Amino acid sequence: MSSRPGKTAPRLLQDLLTYDPRHEERAGRNLLTDPPSFYDPDAPPTPAVPVRNCRHHFVTKDEQSILPQSGNQPNYETVYKIASYCMKCRWHLELMVDFRDDGFRTLPCPADTEFPLHHFIFQGEKGPSHDHFGDRKIPRDYRFRCSAPRCPVHLHVRLLPPRLKDEYITLLTDKILLKKRLDRAGVIEPRCQNEQVAKPVDGLLFLRTYLRDSLQPKQGKGRIPLLNRKFLKTFGEDCDALLTELGFVREEEDDTEGVRVTVWYLPKPPPPGNPLDPANKRTVLEDVRYELAALILNLPAAERGTPNNDYPGEQKSSLADIQRAFGCLNYARKPLDHSESSTPREEDHPYYAGLGAVGDLSDALILFAYNRQTDVDSVNNTYYFECLQAIAIGRNSNMLGEKVQILASQGQVNRRDVCKAYKYFGIQPEHSPHLTDDIIIGQFRSRLSDISSALQEETRNMLRIIGSSRQSERILHEASNAIETYSQALSWLDVEETTLDDFIATMFTFKVNDNPANREIASQALRIIAEERQSQRLLDFINTGSMEAAEMDVSEAYALLGVQDRSAALDLEVLQAQMQSYNISNPQNAAKYEQAYSLICKDQKENHKSTAVQEMGPPKKRHPLESWPVGCQNIGNTCYLNSVLQFLFTIKPLREVVLNFEQYMQERTPEAIERKRVGRSAVTAEKVQKAQEFALELRELFKLMITAPNDNVRPPTRLACLALLKDDITVERAKEGDLVSTLGHLNGAPVIGPMPKPEPEAPAGPNPAASVLADSVMGDDDFDKRTDTSSTVAMADPEEDKPFDEMAGLKDDQGFEIVDKPQPPSRPPPVPPRPQPTTQENTDLKIVEEVARQQDAAEILNNVFDLLSCAMKGEGMMDDGEQIDLIKKLFFSEVTSVRRTNGSVSHNTALQDHQLIWPGDRDRHLYAALDDEFGLQELDSGPSSEESEEVGANTQTTKFECFHKASPILIVNVRRIAFAEGRSKKIESHIGLDDTLYLDRYLEQTKSLSKEALLERREKQWELTRRLKSLESRKAELNKTNLQIGLPDAVNGAADYIERLGSIDSGLMEIGGGQNSDQADVSQGPNIPQELRESSRTIQKETEILDRKMKEIDDEISSLFADCKDHSYRLHSVFIHRGTAAGGHYWIFIHDFQNKIWRKYNDERVDEVEDLKDIFTQEEKYPATSTGIVYVREDLVNQLTEAVDRHPEQPQSQSSNGDMVMQDVVDITDAETQDAEGIPILNGVEKK
């Protein structure tokens, strides 16, 4: 059905009573057929019907009608026709209500109780609305049909102008004309001289009677002599045109006396026919007779003349006939108030007309009208809802009010909401019809990235309103954040397929804690994930809110990986291979297999002392509370968070600032934060507030870590939320191309590259001294190189030679893909990303995405830095406005990258809060990995060197980096996750660490070496590195087969296979088969396996030689700088991860420089590291790997770090008796944490 609103029968009738074709233009619309314009509460009120319109008083023309009889139901043959005319304007109205159907629509409306009223939809008009001369007094012919699906009713509405032209009426009634006519009559017929002048009513009455006689001919009344005195003075000879037009015939004839006389013969109409027949002469005469009656009765009482036997009687109003034909004679009406008697209904509030209703409909019928209207014209549902809302309020109707609430709860919105929503997104509502959904969604996304999660719900709501008003599925989906599919659910919770159930529950909790309004949608996401994974555990969590049950039954785990005998000790390497082959053939269950694998590892460890899981360590040793750091309980797969918190705690100046945070709080007045820049972004008061909330939470935790009366504390969930959910506090997030925001960036703000608003003071053009805040993840124009090999360089200088605005444009284009996938907030496990691809498109983006999901301690650390900077007031300002504060001073280095193109050199300096290294595919020293980052890079002349396009594509650009100023605390993050064959994979290569790291070779200059001298050495190093690279690629070639095993193994395997063929063949021979000559050939060549083995050994050997050579070069490189020991840093801490790319466990080793010991902080346990091998060497199988390495400038280690700061409070209820304290505290500990289970305690001393 077309999207056109309709009118309930009472409404249509109401409009029929005021529709006046003569004044249609004045009304601005056809009141009958055009929908009323939307009511504008702000516009000045206008009458519903123009003043001039006739308020018709229709009376029935019985001869021409087929009237409904009361009590008769229409059937499939029924046609009603109500022919009527208006007593006032004398227009004729013909209504034909046609129930005849095509056999399918057999239940007319009121009979169909679901449809208590017809709901007429305009179908079209026959003929023009005015004639050639613009005259609107022409017949109009409209068709409507009822919108009810089973109702057969068609409605024809005809409006005809009066038959009697105005001039004829004047002719008959004008007193001056009548006087003249009398004078003229006296001339023609002297007998008339005594006559009185005819009264206006006379002509009307006479004509009416003539017409009666014409329609009902009687003997002897067929002709009128002209000289009839009455005729002569009333009609005379100047009404000939009128009479002729009506069918009177003027004849000259001889009278009975032979005198020539003039007579008028009455019209001779056809006999009465069927009212449904087309109009004919008879109809016209009937109409004229009716019009005359109206004219007579409308005369002032004194002029109506004396009633005779043909005097018009009272005319019967058509209203009841029409109502009966329309089926709305007795519809349910609203009870009347005293105040509102029978007010003229045309001035019902326009909202009634909007619904196609009238003011006296009962509530139920109002609702019916609303439903019909939204059903046939859903496009305007927001307006209809507005109408319904207003009527519900106006009527103070419970029933309608409830309905409105239900609809609202289902998402129905009204027009005002829609306007408000458009304005919310900065769109003028009147422009909205011209905007595509894409534009609106774009507005929404950019808005969303700017706001806190507390506002997100509101923003989504606004979009939803627009979506439902536009009936756009796309917009609605975007707005709903709707979660219908597994991948949507994962994405909503910021987890991925490989994320373990535990962490999914954690993210659920975070999201809900963060914004309780999210509970419903979060539950929905959780349920979809639970069902998709068929995870009973998650389902239990949904139902009970806890995950007490084991994630997977151990026996289930064994079964899943096809292990029959779970009591046997397993070779875990075999098991891992098994798991990986399962993963490959069944990637959607990878998470399950990995989970099963880790469960089995654990089980094996417990039962068979397997090497798989070693970090559990021996039973916990007790340490004096006063001198030992506390552990942090794992509040839900947050071990990476715990590592970060422990690390922060040991940074003494940071800890002290946090503990006294009130003194460092940023003021939140608009003036105070107006110029505040963190990560080059402006900061809103809202963000500052959130950041301060975090800082104060952190303060409470630190206090607790100092004063806790036991050996571990529980970080508050809120703290975790604030630290983990990055979007939460992201304010000035880059709009476009900001993939950068994953790690290392200063919290979502693109530090370099795409700037939403270029800073006016930003350096324009090449500027060697340009100091730009950046960090190591920025500007990875060589990203693609580092995804497959160890050749990585962290550069912080993507487009340093360009003005910012140009860069912004560039990045927009490049980053376009990313816009569709806004960076999700926190991502669980491992290692940092390396984003900003510039050359390859989708593949790289996917890789980046994948890597970005693998967030870890490094990202949280970065996030925390940003939060703290936002929360604290600055101590000053850098050139570019960036806030100087403790965080910058402690952790941010200035890194210069030097780019050389065809002899021209450019420098760019950026701030970085960490260095990012790539472990590569072999074990090597940290120096080697850092060398990659700082060393010489040959850059493709890709899009990043647009400035040189005239020079051509062969322009060689090189780049290297050095510390312009190294931060006192140097954080090195290790990327551990690579992406291959569609899955992420952890790289387990070992990064060799020394207790002391000399930074000399990465500096611009050292205490003893000038810039030039240092550069010379570095150039030597780069030459060696080039050789190293070629060896590496040779090794890669040797080890590459399609079997995904090393070539030596492959060749050996081939040898095995051929040998076995031989033995099978000989077996076949024995049983009389094996005549196959090919097989015989193979077995006859016993040397082939032999040769293959030989070859395998050769390859193996070459590989070994390569390894040795590479090691030699590594050593040579190291020796280049052997004497560079001016700038020493001490190893302070190492973040460790054990597990797969999908998940695992984190802990941190932290050096206590004061007590000269290392500790391992593993959630609630803090143990001394007894064997330093645990830190500096790596296990062979399933090694735990470093993901973050922190060095502290040697001369500052005691100033900057302090591992122990403890003043445990004594539990209040305890005795102050010093002797008892230990025992009391231990008891508390036992009760609270149960971590001393099984260890008998006597007087505070462990019983061995």
Task: Give residues in contact with Zn ion (CB under 5 A).
Answer: 54, 56, 86, 88-89, 109, 118, 146, 148, 151, 153
* Residue placing its CB nearer to Zn ion in the complex, 358 or 673: 358
Which of 10, 919 has the CB closer to Zn ion? 10
- Measured from the CB atom, the residue of 370 and 492 that comes closer to Zn ion is 370
Q: State the minimum distance, in angstroms, from the CB of residue 67 to Zn ion.
A: 19
Closest among 550, 513, 545 to 526, alpha carbons compared: 545
Under a CB-based contact definition with an 8 Å cutoff, are residues 714 and 633 in contact?
yes
DSSP 1134: E
Provide, rounded to whole angstroms, the least separation between the CB of residue 146 and Zn ion: 3
Which one, 368 or 1121, has the nearer CB to Zn ion? 368
CB of 403 to Zn ion, least distance (A): 23
Question: In angstroms, rounded to a whole number, what is the distance separating the alpha carbons of residues 738 and 759?
Answer: 17
CB-wise, 54 or 706, nearer to Zn ion? 54
Helix (H) or strand (E) holding 508: helix 501-514
| Interstrand relation of 1245-1246 and 1241-1242 (parallel, antiparallel or unpaired) | antiparallel
DSSP letter, residue 1045: S
How far apart are CB 486 and Zn ion at their closest, in Å?
Answer: 47
Q: How many helices (H) and strands (E) does the chain have?
A: 44, 35
Residue type, 616: M
Residue 108: CB minimum distance to Zn ion, A: 6
CB of 109 to Zn ion, least distance (A): 3
Write the CB contacts of 1195 (distance below 8 Å, at least 6 apart in sequence).
none
Smallest distance from Zn ion to CB 74, Å: 11
Give CA angle at 251 (250, 255), nearest 5°: 135
Residue type, 708: A
Complex with Zn ion: residue 74 or 824, whichever CB lies closer = 74
C-alpha dist (Å) from residue 1246 to 103, 726, 1061, 1159, 1161 = 96, 44, 65, 21, 21
Residue 29 CB, nearest approach to Zn ion (Å): 19
Beta bridge partners of 1193: 1129
1189 neighbors 1150 (Cβ within 8 angstroms) = no
Shortest spacing between CB 139 and Zn ion, in angstroms: 15
Take residue 968 and report the two structure tokens written for it.
Answer: 């006192």
Question: For the residues of 89-126, what is the DSSP string, one character each?
Answer: T--EEEEEEE----SS----GGGSTT-SS-EEEEEEEE
Q: β-strands 92-98, 119-126: how paired?
A: unpaired
CB of 373 to Zn ion, least distance (A): 14
Nearest-approach distance from CB 4 to Zn ion, in angstroms: 16
For Zn ion, the closer CB: 291 or 933: 291
CB of 214 vs Zn ion, minimal distance in Å: 26
In the complex, minimum distance from the CB of residue 147 to Zn ion, in angstroms, rounded to a whole number: 7
Q: Give buried/exposed letters for 894-918 (b at 16+ CB in 10 A, else e).
A: bbbbbbebeeeebbbbbbbbbbbbb
CA-to-CA distance for 781 and 940, rounded, in angstroms? 9
DSSP state at residue 849: H
Asked if 763 contacts 821 with a C-beta cutoff of 8 angstroms, the reply is: no
Identity of the residue, 54 or 579, whose beta carbon is nearer to Zn ion in the bound complex? 54
Distance (Å, rounded) from C-alpha 377 to C-alpha 179? 61
Minimal distance in Å, beta carbon 101 to Zn ion?
11
Residue 73 vs 544, nearer CB to Zn ion: 73
Q: Name the nearest CA neighbour of 1000 among 884, 1110, 916, 1126.
A: 1126
Instruction: Classify 217 in phi/psi space as left (phi over 0), alpha (psi -120 to 50) or beta.
Output: beta
Query: For residue 1023, what are the CA distances in angstroms to 904, 933, 935, 937?
Result: 21, 15, 10, 12
DSSP-derived 3-state class of residue 7: strand
Tell the smallest beta-carbon distance from residue 89 to Zn ion (Å): 3
Min CB(404)–Zn ion separation in Å: 26
Q: Residue 86 or 930: which CB sits closer to Zn ion?
A: 86
Using the minimum distance from each CB to Zn ion, give the nearer residue, 89 or 1221. Answer: 89
Closer residue to Zn ion in complex, CB, 105/726: 105
Angstrom distance (rounded) from CA 574 to CA 551: 23
C-beta of 320 vs 563, nearer to Zn ion: 320
Residue 716's Cβ-count burial label (10 Å; 0-12, 13-18, 19+) is: middle
Question: Which one, 99 or 541, has the nearer CB to Zn ion?
Answer: 99
Q: Which is nearer to Zn ion, 39 or 326 (CB)?
A: 326
CB of 31 to Zn ion, least distance (A): 13
Which residue, 290 or 783, has its beta carbon nearer to Zn ion?
Answer: 290
Task: Give alpha helix (H) positions in 1162-1211.
Answer: 1173-1176, 1197-1200
Given the complex with Zn ion, which of 154 and 181 has the nearer CB atom?
154
The minimum distance between CB 46 and Zn ion, in angstroms, equals: 21
Which of 97, 1050 has the CB closer to Zn ion? 97
DSSP string, 965-988: E--SEEEEEE--EEEETTEEEE--
Residues 6+ apart with CB under 8 A from 387: 39, 351, 352, 354, 355, 370
Question: Do residues 1130 and 1191 lie in contact, with contact meaning Cβ atoms separated by under 8 Å?
Answer: yes
Backbone torsions φ then ψ of 1233, nearest 5 degrees = -115, -20
User: What residues have CB less than 8 Å from 1024, skipping those under 6 apart?
Assistant: 1113, 1116, 1117, 1120
996, β-bridge pairs: 1130
